[in-house]
Amino acid sequence: HPFWASLTVAVLVWYSTVTIYVAIKGIGDIRRMLRRLSDSKDAGSGVAS
């Protein structure tokens, strides 16, 4: 069953490698997001849309 065997292996390889990459890059994303939010926190109309 080459299709299901290779798909299962691809899933395991993907989950073992890409997940780590996304996790490392994601930490940077969170830090940048919170920094931008902090910077703009003191800058609004006060009215909700």
Give me the least distance between CB of 40 and another protein, in Å please: 8
Query: Which stretches of the chain bind another protein, using CB under 8 A?
Result: 1, 3-5, 7-8, 10-12, 14-16, 18-19, 22-23, 25-30, 32-34, 36-38, 40-41, 44, 46-49
Give me the least distance between CB of 3 and another protein, in Å please: 8
Give me the least distance between CB of 29 and another protein, in Å please: 4
Degrees (nearest 5) of the Cα angle 21, 23, 17? 35
User: Phi and psi at residue 45, in whole multiples of 5°?
Assistant: -75, -25
For residues 7 and 5, give the distance between their C-alpha atoms in angstroms, rounded to a whole number: 5
Tokens of 40: 């703009």
